[in-house]
Amino acid sequence: MRNIFLVIRREYLVRVKKKSFLIMTLLGPLLFVAFYGIVIWVAIGSVDTKTVQVLDESGLFKNEFKDNETLKFAYLDSSIDSAKAKFKGSEANALVYIPKNVIKEPKSVRIYAAKNVSMDLKSEIEKVIEKEIEDIKLEEAGITHKILEDSRVNVSSETISLSDEGEKTSSSGAATVIGGICAFLIYMSVFIYGTQVMRGITEEKTSRIVEVIISSVKPFQLMLGKIIGVALVGLTQFVLWILLTTALTSATSAVLSNKMSKESPEMAQEMEKVQKGMPGPSGMPGGNVENPVAEVLGAINSLNIPLILGCFLFYYLGGYLLYSALFGAVGAAVDNDADTQQFMLPITLPIIFSFVFAQFVLRDPDGTLAFWTSIIPFTSPIIMMVRIPFGVPAWEIALSMVLLVLGFMGTTWLAARIYRVGILMYGKKVSYKELAKWIFYK
């Protein structure tokens, strides 16, 4: 036991002391925060007011175009030709021309602009015109303005998950995002740390230190020590990432809301609500500003974060242990990094498949594919993490966890059999047939 601890300590310290570990640990949260900042910035920051001139010959749209943050409308009274001539000298971004017979010929509406107008502007204008024409036609058909007003409802659905704990507001959007992120992190870490184990073993083999070490430590202890050591490195990295990201995002949010309270008090309120975990504005009646970021961030708070975090750690460890043992066996079987390719494929395929399956499971988190792939140990670490934010029956999680534990015990046993023979084989290219023989050596 003392020896295995010594091995773990060495493997851990050697990696944590590396510069690349420090860089990755700092860079990860910075990238995340940069991304987070950009999303918020784009959502709230790019308030660039555009002026649109409207030449309404039909007279139907008086005051129908309402000013908002991004658009200001100015009504013109001249003829189209003089308006066009004047437009070039003005600071307006676009000129909308609505001919007299717009109701009969809706396609005759024209938008003039110095450059191409954005899709947003075009659809905004079209929407107003379409709605007005629709209203007029409906009224002509005998539907009064009042009936029309009543018939207009604003639907923003709330998904409610029914569980034993009662009804709880959930957000399939947030679940998708969180599930996706977890799956991706596990996918990446299995690859990154799995190959680290493999490299470490090949390094011991090529530098010929392995025989010295295994004259003091049992090969199995050495392999297990390395796997656990690297797992702890991964855990350290995740914990640091979570801490640093939380600290940095709070700081970023504070800075942003501070900046916004000067520029736009309304938005600052939104941000505060988001931070306090209140539901986004779209869920509230009379919410006048659509803010999808706030909705997602708000909904994330509605998820069972401790369960997700706990499961994430379990499936990260389980998935990592299952695959790193196999990576370790490959590292022991070959003489140098270049030779690993031929044995890598069967290991990487299930990981890549799980990642591909994850896209389908995101769309149908309770389907047959989702069920089976989240039970089978080789795919469960990634798929189960996709499903958990959507809510999974406890027995399915339990079964999947037990099978995962059995799975990594199995792969570790298998890897140990290959390992103990492989590490003492120098300068020999092995085939699958030989690997199989090693497994059944006494």
Partner 1 sequence: MSKSKRAVVRPLFYFTTNHSILDAHNVTLIRPLITLHFTPGKYAAHVTADYIDMNIIEVRNVTKEYSNHIALDDVSINIPKGCIFGLLGPNGAGKTSLIRIINQITGPDKGEILFDGQHLNQSHISRIGYLPEERGLYKKMKVGEQLLYLAQLKGLSQKQAMEKLKSWFIKFDIKTWWDKSVSDLSKGMQQKVQFVSTVLHEPDLIILDEPFSGFDPINANLIRDEILELKQKGSTIIFSTHRMETVEELCDNIALIHKAKKVLDGPKKLIKEQFKTHTYFVEYKGDLSGLEDIYTLTPEKELENGYRRTNIHLGETASPNDLLRDLLPRAEIRSFGENIPSMSDIFMRSVNEVPEA
What stretches of 334-439 show up as alpha helix (H) in DSSP? 341-363, 368-375, 380-387, 394-422, 432-439
For the chain, the first-to-last Cα distance in angstroms comes to 24
**Of 5-13, 141-149, 189-197, 305-313: span binding partner 1 (CB under 8 A):** 5-13
Among 35, 75, 372, 426, binds partner 1 (CB under 8 A): 426
What stretches of 207-218 show up as alpha helix (H) in DSSP? 210-214
| Angle, vertex CA 315, rays to CA 240 and CA 439, nearest 5 | 115
| Best CA proximity match to 174, nearest among 370, 374, 389 | 389
| Angle, vertex CA 160, rays to CA 154 and CA 166, nearest 5 | 145
Q: How many amino acids of this chain bind partner 1 (CB under 8 A)? A: 23
**If binding is defined by CB under 8 A, does position 6 make contact with partner 1?**
yes
Contact 95, 112 (CB under 8 A): yes
Spatial separation of the C-alpha atoms in residues 203 and 188, rounded to whole Å? 22
For the window 179-218, what string marks contact with partner 1 as x by the rule CB under 8 A?
A: ------------------------xx--xxx-xxxxxxx-
> Hey, what amino acid is at 159?
T
Which CB, 216 or 431, lies closer to partner 1? 216
For the window 318-357, what string marks contact with partner 1 as x by the rule CB under 8 A?
A: ----------------------------------------
Which CB, 178 or 233, lies closer to partner 1? 233
> Which 357-396 positions form the footprint of partner 1 (CB under 8 A)?
none
Which CB, 143 or 212, lies closer to partner 1? 212
Q: How far is the CB of 217 from partner 1 (least distance, A)?
A: 6
User: What does the longest C-alpha to C-alpha distance in the chain come to?
Assistant: 98
Contact 390, 362 (CB under 8 A): no
Other CB atoms within 10 Å distance of the CB of residue 205: 22
Among 88, 127, 131, 437, binds partner 1 (CB under 8 A): 437
**If binding is defined by CB under 8 A, does position 425 make contact with partner 1?**
no
Q: How far is the CB of 233 from partner 1 (least distance, A)?
A: 15
Q: Write the DSSP assignment of 49-79 as a string of letters.
A: -EEEEEEESSS--TTTS---SSEEEEEE-S-
**If binding is defined by CB under 8 A, does position 122 make contact with partner 1?**
no
**If binding is defined by CB under 8 A, does position 424 make contact with partner 1?**
yes
Q: How far is the CB of 216 from partner 1 (least distance, A)?
A: 4
**If binding is defined by CB under 8 A, does position 152 make contact with partner 1?**
no
**If binding is defined by CB under 8 A, does position 441 make contact with partner 1?**
yes
User: Site residues (CB under 8 A) for partner 1?
Assistant: 3, 6-7, 10, 14, 203-204, 207-209, 211-217, 219, 424, 426, 437, 441-442
